[in-house]
Amino acid sequence: MRRYVIILCSLCLLFLQALAAANPSFAVQTRKWTDKDKDKGSAGFYYEGAMYSDKGTVVKGYNVKKYVYKNNLTLWSGAFDEQGSLIVGGGWPAVLSVLKDDKFTDVNIEGIKSTSSKPAYSVIKRLSSRLIGGIMGNGNILGIDLKSYDKYKILSNLPVENTWDLEDVDNVYFYAATGPLGQVFRIDYREGKYEVWAQVPDINVTFVHNGGDGKVYLGGGETGNLYELTGKQKINVVYHFQEEALVKAVDYAGGSLIVAVNKLRKPPDANKEENYKEFFKKLSDLKANYGVDQDLAITSNQRELSILNYAYGSVYLVTKDGRVEKILSLKDEYIFDIQLDKKGRLYIATGPKGKVYMIKNPRDDIHDVWTAYGVDYKNVTSIIMKDGYPGFFLVSGNEAVVFQVSGELADNAKVMTRVLGTGIPADWGKLSWGGKGLKVYSRHGNTPVPDKTWTEWTQRKNGSPVELKNNRWAYGQLRFDIKEDAILKGFEYYYTERNHRPVVKDVKVSDRVYTTAGPQREITWEAADPNGDELIYNVWITEEGKENWINLSKSASLKTSKFTVDTDSLPDGRYVVKVEASDEPSNYGNGLKGYALSEVFINNNERPEFPSLKYDNKRKIFTGKVASRTSVITKLYFSVDGGEWIGFSSSDGILDDKTKEIRLSVPKNLANGHHVISFRAINEAGNQGNKVIGFTYRGK
């Protein structure tokens, strides 16, 4: 009986060994993909008809319809006519077009094109039931006929380069914010007469905003000042922002103001920066009632520069009692426009990522920032409100585009993750998500881009593993269908990858360095683990051509990618270093190792010697040998009577061996008498040997 038990146990052991050999080695550590994972492919979603908050919540969004106008143009501004058609303007060159019945009809503005080489419509507004347009590039102010679009008239020809904003004063006058002389003009609607109403110490006045009750606000492009205009040439600074460029201000509840600002990048050219400072200095020296100085240099197109230079955008709430709070900060994004809808929700148009953000209640101490719309273009330049809500977005990229915003929610919003995976086969486990009313699907495959070899979309149960027989795929993707009032609040997807060996490369051994602890060499390397596992290292060394590796790290596994070795502890010779990396800390009992070798290096602590060097008085020469037991002699020098060191070569003219013959003649013009000559030799390992000989010289 005992014999049968032993045989049975042996068979069981063989079966387990065979099973272990048949199954691939999987990493011990289980990982998970989440909606917040930024490292391995899931750093974002693809959204269709959805909007999402900075807290990770996703809900249904509004449908948008795309209208492409023209290539190589930018649309800057727009407004509605009396019939509700959208009129858009931009450039370069200047264009004006009407979007009606899903088609664009251009307005004839040939007269405007001929007045400047690079004009563009920078602003179009409905003011006192009139449609007024401002030009960037020549200072023209145009009145546009709302019934016949091919009719317009030049109301004023301002002596400035750019018009940035327009605003009502009353039924008789309106304001024009201009640059590059920091002027605000008051213009008569009927006759077009103008006068400089304000002069601020900025190159550009980027907006003028009539807040009612006699309060008019101005924002500039260089100082960061928010101004209040209380009368002709009467200007107060309401607040100084750390950001230089003020983009726009809008009214908010209770007499508060919302201000959008941008932080300028410094000019990349120091000379340009100095020119900029000098130009600004001239502007700041202008008198308060200064008009137009035609001799003052005019900068290049400011709006074009703003696209290149604005780097960080922020939004502030300025309350009636003077309190200022930052409610939004965007890194590496700049703001083109802000608008409030009837419900008090704030919309922010930005670039260069083509996003429109939304804040439901700017007064809340803690508020979500929603990405309401994302377009496949670089900049959202303007938000056109219709019936108190966003109706259109103007977009610039490689072409001028208008997006019409539907007032209805999308029928079925879809959210899809980017492809998840590192290319390593994995066991895919439980998938969980937060929210309500969702239908969730997954698909998998072994190619980085989904193709016909991938599985079909399979509906998942919350908190359950994938219900497919073969689930060892290198990649996966998730889809969330959002209908009615469904909400998505993140996901977690667990997986365990097949364990892969660590990769070690670029093992380097430094030249010898003399320290207080003696001569040392530093060994450095690079290492990575395909699974992202924690690594430990051991450093080994052997003489060239041998296999008896010695562990320099003494089995005390290293956690950093460098190690210092004391060269005095190594006998002279030619050596190779091996660095071995192990992922054992993340895979106990199942770790793998990888290694790499260094180039051969010479360890030589021996100094070169001059075993037979002597002076031949008769022939007036020094002869003998210089020798280094391990390393090639690389440099020879001599010095007479403590003078400068002079380099020379061996008798055969080439330093290429460990032992070389020396034949050196006495230097010319040497005085008769006793002298001292010093010889110095340096070998390939950098070791230095010296020899001093006294001799008596008697010339002819």
Measure Cα distances from 402 to 108, 118, 394, 396 in Å. Answer: 20, 22, 5, 9
So what's the pLDDT on residue 180?
84
Which is more confidently placed, 83 or 653?
653
Buried b (16+ CB within 10 A) or exposed e, 383-404: bbbeeeebbbbbbbbeebbbbb
Inform me whether the pLDDT recorded for 307 exceeds 60. Answer: no
Q: What is the model's pLDDT at position 161?
A: 83
The one-letter amino acid code at 39 reads D
Instruction: Give the list of residues 6+ apart from residue 609 with CB closer than 8 angstroms, or none.
Output: 626, 627, 628, 689, 691
Residue 435: CA count within 13 A, CB half-sphere: 26
**CATH number of the domain encompassing residue 221:** 2.130.10.10
Q: Is residue 6 in some structural domain?
A: no
Among 497, 520, 541, where does a domain finish? 497
Q: Are 272 and 173 in contact (CB under 8 A)?
A: no
User: Within 13 Å of residue 156, how many CA atoms lie on the same side as its CB?
Assistant: 27
Q: Which tens digit of pLDDT belongs to each residue from 375-402? A: 878 889 999 998 888 888 888 867 888 8
Residue 567 belongs to a domain with what CATH number?
A: 2.60.40.10
Number of domains in the chain: 4
Considering the domain architecture, whether residues 595 and 672 belong to the same structural domain is answered as no
State the pLDDT at residue 146.
58
CATH number of the domain where residue 679 is located: 2.60.40.650
Characterize the bridge pairing of strands 426-445 and 464-465: antiparallel
Q: What whole-number distance in Å separates Cα of residue 215 and Cα of residue 122?
A: 24
Distances, alpha carbon 421 to alpha carbons 272, 416, 425, 493, 495, in Å = 47, 15, 9, 11, 10
At residue 404, what are phi and psi to the nearest 5 degrees? -90, 130
At 145 the pLDDT is 64
Q: Is the dihedral of CA 584, 586, 589, 595 positive or negative?
A: negative
Condensed to tens digits (0 to 9), the pLDDT of residues 75-105 reads 889 888 777 888 888 877 788 888 888 888 8
pLDDT band (50, 70, 90) for residue 503:
very high
**Separation CA 232–CA 184 (nearest Å):** 10
User: Is residue 26 included in any domain, yes or no?
Assistant: no
Q: Are 228 and 210 in contact (CB under 8 A)?
A: no
Q: Are 173 and 301 within one domain?
A: yes
Strands 194-199 and 205-212: unpaired
Q: Which amino acid is at 143?
A: G
% of the chain with per-residue pLDDT over 90? 33
Q: How confident is the model at residue 111 (pLDDT cuts 50, 70, 90)?
A: low
Alpha-carbon span 354 to 347, nearest angstrom: 13
> 37 is in which domain, residue-wise?
31-57+413-497
Query: Average pLDDT in the 317-338 region?
Result: 89
**Residue type for position 518:** G
Residues in the chain: 700
Residue among 413, 421, 465, 420 nearest 439 (CA): 413
pLDDT at 527 over 70: yes
Q: With a cut of 70, say whether residue 302 has pLDDT above it.
A: no
Distance CA 367, CA 327 (A): 8
- How many whole angstroms separate alpha carbon 457 and alpha carbon 454? 9
Please check the confidence at residue 70 and state whether its pLDDT lies above 70: yes
Give the number of other CB atoms < 10 A from CB of residue 172: 11
Where does the pLDDT of residue 119 fall: very low under 50, low under 70, confident under 90, or very high at 90 and above? confident
Over residues 644-669, the mean pLDDT reads 92
* 231 shares its domain with 112: yes
- What is the model's pLDDT at position 8? 36
Q: What is the pLDDT of residue 28?
A: 61
One-letter amino acid of 619: R
The confidence band for 175, taking pLDDT boundaries of 50, 70 and 90, is very high
Residue 305: per-residue pLDDT = 41
- Residues 584-610 pLDDT 10s: 888 887 889 999 999 998 887 778 999
Same domain as 110, residue 92: yes
- Residue 152: what pLDDT? 65
Identify the CATH number of the domain in which residue 46 sits: 2.60.120
Alpha helices (H) along 29-85:
none
Q: Are 185 and 308 found together in one domain? A: yes
Of 384, 407, 430, the residue at which a domain comes to its end is 407
DSSP conformation class of 26: B
* In a domain? residue 21: no
Domain match, 53 and 67 both: no
The phi, psi pair for 69, rounded to 5°, reads -90, -75
User: Does some domain include residue 430?
Assistant: yes
User: Are 469 and 546 in a shared domain?
Assistant: no
Whether 24 is covered by a domain: the verdict is no
Decide if pLDDT at 1 tops 60: no
Residue with more model confidence, 555 or 610? 610
427, 496 Cβ separation under 8 angstroms: yes
- Tens of pLDDT along 566-581? 877 788 788 999 999 9
Query: Is 145 or 177 the better-scoring residue by pLDDT?
Result: 177
Q: What pLDDT band is residue 484 in, cutting at 50, 70 and 90?
A: confident
Query: pLDDT averaged over the chain?
Result: 81
Same domain, 181 and 296: yes
154 vs 140: CA distance, rounded Å: 7
Q: Which one, of 45, 84, 55, 130, lies nearest residue 404 by Cα?
A: 84
Highest mean pLDDT among 87-96, 337-346, 624-633: 337-346
Residues 672 and 546 in one domain: no
432-475 pLDDT, tens per residue?
A: 999 999 999 999 999 999 999 999 999 999 999 887 666 789 99
Tell me the helices (H) and strands (E) count for the chain, helix number first.
4, 54
261 and 283 in a single domain? The answer is yes
Q: Say whether pLDDT at 343 is over 60.
A: yes
Query: Residue 315's closest CA among 236, 379, 262?
Result: 262
Q: Are 606 and 630 in contact (CB under 8 A)?
A: yes
Same domain as 551, residue 443: no
Query: pLDDT tier at 286 (50, 70, 90 boundaries)?
Result: very low
Determine, yes or no, domain membership for 299. Answer: yes
Neighbours of 30 (CB within 10 A): 14
Query: Is residue 229 one of the residues assigned to a domain?
Result: yes
* Domain end marker among 377, 407, 437: 407
Q: Is 510 helix (H, G, I), strand (E, B) or coil?
A: coil
14 part of a folded domain: no
- Report, as an integer, the average pLDDT of 466-493: 86
- pLDDT over 70 (residue 413): yes
Whole-angstrom Cα distance, residue 303 to residue 297? 17
The confidence score (pLDDT) of residue 157 equals: 85
Instruction: Kindly state whether residues 200 and 297 are assigned to the same domain.
Output: yes
Per-residue pLDDT reduced to its tens digit, 188-221: 988 888 999 998 888 889 999 998 877 899 998 7
User: Is 60 exceeded by the pLDDT of residue 7?
Assistant: no
